[in-house]
């Protein structure tokens, strides 16, 4: 019944024979869900180089949910004080627990100046938690033309809860009273459907 | 010092911490404040949070193994697409959670290796067999349903990166769950043999589902660190009751019978009798139910379940087979890092 290569896997105990790999650098990923939205921090990943970081970023953050544009950068760039004279993308975490949000871009000569300018221009009197700045030369920007992020032209409803809700509701109603289905579905997480 | 999930720290022991910082931390958390990785936190909080995220990550990775086996045998193209997407999601959840855990001080690679050598654990329910397609349906409905209930409360926890990951994960679990419901309803509206197949799978998965929430609460549950520091926001028994209240009447409405079962060492059901305690208490609104067999639960956790060895053997096999890939990458045969 099982696929050949996965049956009769030899049992082994004790220490692994393979070498432990060195620690990979950490990369941060920002995704934009639709054209009218801003880039939000999606999460991090470990990858040895920029090319693989892009592959992983598409797999983990670009395909599972709608996504039209994605930025990938090394984590250490975001907090670095030094830098060249160029444009910096700015991200603000408005409070603990919230996602970093892309607020804009400034010209600066290093990370410190970029973050100072961010406070002045984008935070003004608003309370904020932390700021990340990233030189534009350090960000890989990926858009729909690569055909690897969420494809809006293909129907991917089968991988969203909302893709099932109507047909499931119909099936429940064939078996139960409407009120019983309502009670049962009241536990469904509102923000995820 | 970096905390390690395999070192037995005395959970909740803060005797070495600066009392002033500790008091400020506890007040912040008690008032609903959130913690980010660079904030000050007691070492015990760091290590407990790390263990929680690591265990969660391990469970996502191992949970994908029994489901992965069924991709090639899915009954239709749509089901195959959905199951493939589900397996991809689960592994992705594992990756994201390893990143959260890594930021608390243990390398991702050490976590992957500790899982394989049995140093760390994963969720107990994946140590049971999955012999039919109906088991895939029940896992998606019951286990993912239980996971949503549990993770819905974890998303109100105190550690910022973990709760952000939890919200993202729940969005995907919602699809797994709806897909599971659709599959169970399809079977239960089908032929007699489909219904029988569903009932047999339900008998195998009902008990692991109610055991999913973990052992019964201790008398001092609310005082224990995980609750006090808001890593968990609901107790195991509360969640279990909530699960039964929701799923017992739903299962019965589809025609499924909730049985108390005995199982052999292979996880096959040897006897099934309707749960004698299954009754709605009109006053409390709670459904009565028979507790899972805790003796068996702890026996399986200690590594003696029907599938513990298979799951780890497959994980180890895959890891060792992948060594040449890691080597090729590190030998610089791909593009080096920018800068």
pLDDT tens-place string over residues A54-91: 988 988 888 777 788 999 999 999 999 988 899 999 99
Would you kindly state where each structural domain of chain B is located, as residue ranges?
26-214+232-318
Pick B337's closest partner by Cβ from A2, A15, A25.
Answer: A25
Whether the pLDDT of residue B114 is over 80: the answer is yes
Interface membership of A188 toward B (CB under 8 Å): yes
Probe site for chain A from B250, B255, B331 (most A CB atoms < 10 A): B250
pLDDT of residue A34: 86
Indicate the pLDDT class of residue B264, thresholds 50, 70 and 90: very high
CB half-sphere exposure, A69, CA atoms < 13 A: 11
Contacts of B108 in chain A (CB under 8 A): 23-24, 46
Q: What's the ipTM?
A: 0.89
Interface membership of A74 toward B (CB under 8 Å): yes
Alpha-helical (H) ranges within B69-159 are 77-102, 108-116, 133-138, 144-154
Interface membership of B278 toward A (CB under 8 Å): no
Per-residue pLDDT tens for B96-111? 999 999 999 999 989 9
For residue B84 the two structure tokens come to: 């493939």
Taking residues B98-127, what's their average pLDDT? 93
Taking residues B261-281, what's their average pLDDT? 94
Mean pLDDT taken over chain B: 91
Indicate the pLDDT class of residue B212, thresholds 50, 70 and 90: very high
3-state secondary structure of B7: coil
CA separation for the pair A74, B145 (Å, rounded): 36
Interface membership of B99 toward A (CB under 8 Å): yes
CA separation for the pair B297, B295 (Å, rounded): 5
Whether the pLDDT of residue B46 is over 70: the answer is yes
Interface membership of B40 toward A (CB under 8 Å): no
Interface membership of B74 toward A (CB under 8 Å): no
Pick A99's closest partner by Cβ from B102, B164, B177.
Answer: B164
Enumerate residues 6+ apart whose C-beta is below 8 A from A182.
Answer: none
| Chain-chain contact of B319 with A130 (C-beta, under 8 angstroms) | no
Whether the pLDDT of residue B23 is over 80: the answer is yes
pLDDT of residue B333: 54
Whether the pLDDT of residue B145 is over 50: the answer is yes
Enumerate residues 6+ apart whose C-beta is below 8 A from B218.
Answer: B224
CA separation for the pair B48, B225 (Å, rounded): 9
| B18-42 b/e (C-beta count within 10 Å ≥ 16 → b) | eeeebeebbebbeeebbbbeeeebb
Indicate the pLDDT class of residue B223, thresholds 50, 70 and 90: confident
Pick B165's closest partner by Cβ from A43, A45, A180.
Answer: A43
Indicate the pLDDT class of residue B6, thresholds 50, 70 and 90: very low
Range in A129-133, A158-162, B50-54, B330-334 with the lowest mean pLDDT: B330-334
Structural element, H or E, at residue A45: strand A40-46
pLDDT of residue A150: 63
Place of tokens 């019965």: B252
Probe site for chain A from B86, B174, B184, B328 (most A CB atoms < 10 A): B174
Q: Provide the strand spans (E) within B141-221.
A: none
pLDDT of residue A18: 75
The superfamily CATH assigns to domain B26-214+232-318 is Ferritin, core subunit, four-helix bundle (1.20.1260.10)
Nearest residue in chain A measured CA to CA from B95: A45
Interface membership of A151 toward B (CB under 8 Å): no
pLDDT of residue A149: 64
Contacts of A1 in chain B (CB under 8 A): 73
pLDDT of residue A100: 97
Listed as ranges, residues in chain A with pLDDT below 50 are: 1
Question: How many residues does this entry show for chain A?
Answer: 193
Per-residue pLDDT tens for B307-328? 998 899 999 988 888 888 888 8
Interface membership of B168 toward A (CB under 8 Å): yes
């Amino acid at each position: 019944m099982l696929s050949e290569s996965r049956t009769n896997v030899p049992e082994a105990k004790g220490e692994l024979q393979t070498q432990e790999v060195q620690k990979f650098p950490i990369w941060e990923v920002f995704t934009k869900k639709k054209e009218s939205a801003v880039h939000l921090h999606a999460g991090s990943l470990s990858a040895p180089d920029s090319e693989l970081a892009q592959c992983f970023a598409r797999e983990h953050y670009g395909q599972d949910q709608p996504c039209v544009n994605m930025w990938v950068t090394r984590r250490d760039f975001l907090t670095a004080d030094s830098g060249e004279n160029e444009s910096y993308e700015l991200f603000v975490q408005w409070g603990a627990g919230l996602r970093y949000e892309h607020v804009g871009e400034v010209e600066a000569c290093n990370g410190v100046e970029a973050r100072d300018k961010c406070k002045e221009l984008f935070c003004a009197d608003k309370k904020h938690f932390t700021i990340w700045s990233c030189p534009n030369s350090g960000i890989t920007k990926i858009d729909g033309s690569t055909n690897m992020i969420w494809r809006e032209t293909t129907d991917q409803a089968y991988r969203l809860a909302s893709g099932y809700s109507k047909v499931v509701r119909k099936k429940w109603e064939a078996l139960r009273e409407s009120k019983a289905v309502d009670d049962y579905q009241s536990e469904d997480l509102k923000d995820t459907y | 010092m970096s905390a390690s999930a395999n070192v037995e720290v005395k959970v909740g022991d803060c005797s070495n911490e600066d009392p002033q910082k500790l008091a400020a931390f506890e007040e912040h958390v008690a008032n609903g404040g959130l913690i980010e990785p660079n904030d000050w936190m007691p070492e015990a909080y760091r290590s407990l949070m790390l263990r929680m995220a690591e265990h969660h990550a391990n469970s996502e990775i191992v949970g994908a193994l029994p489901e992965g086996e069924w991709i090639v045998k899915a009954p239709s193209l749509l089901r195959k697409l959905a199951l493939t997407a589900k397996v991809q999601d689960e592994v992705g959840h594992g990756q994201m959670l390893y990143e959260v855990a890594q930021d608390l001080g243990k390398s991702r690679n050490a976590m992957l290796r500790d899982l394989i050598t049995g140093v760390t654990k994963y969720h107990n329910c994946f140590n049971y067999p999955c012999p039919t397609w109906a088991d895939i349906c029940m896992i998606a409905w019951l286990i993912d349903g239980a996971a949503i209930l549990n993770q819905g409360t974890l998303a109100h926890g105190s550690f910022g990166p973990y709760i952000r990951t939890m919200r993202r994960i729940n969005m995907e679990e919602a699809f797994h769950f709806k897909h599971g419901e659709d599959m169970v309803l399809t079977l239960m509206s089908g032929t007699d043999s489909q219904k029988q197949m569903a009932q047999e799978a339900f008998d195998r998965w009902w008990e692991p589902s109610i055991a999913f929430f973990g052992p019964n609460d201790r008398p001092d549950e609310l005082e224990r660190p995980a609750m006090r520091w808001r890593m968990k926001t609901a107790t195991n028994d509360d969640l279990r009751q909530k699960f039964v209240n929701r799923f017992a009447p739903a299962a019965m409405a589809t025609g499924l019978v909730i049985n108390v079962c005995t199982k052999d060492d292979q996880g096959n059901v040897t006897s099934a009798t309707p749960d004698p305690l299954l009754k709605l208490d009109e006053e409390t609104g709670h459904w009565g139910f028979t507790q899972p067999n805790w003796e068996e639960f702890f026996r399986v956790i200690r590594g003696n379940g029907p599938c513990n060895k298979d799951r780890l053997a497959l994980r180890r096999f895959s890891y060792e087979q992948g060594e040449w890939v890691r080597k090729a990458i590190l030998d610089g045969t791909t593009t080096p890092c920018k800068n």
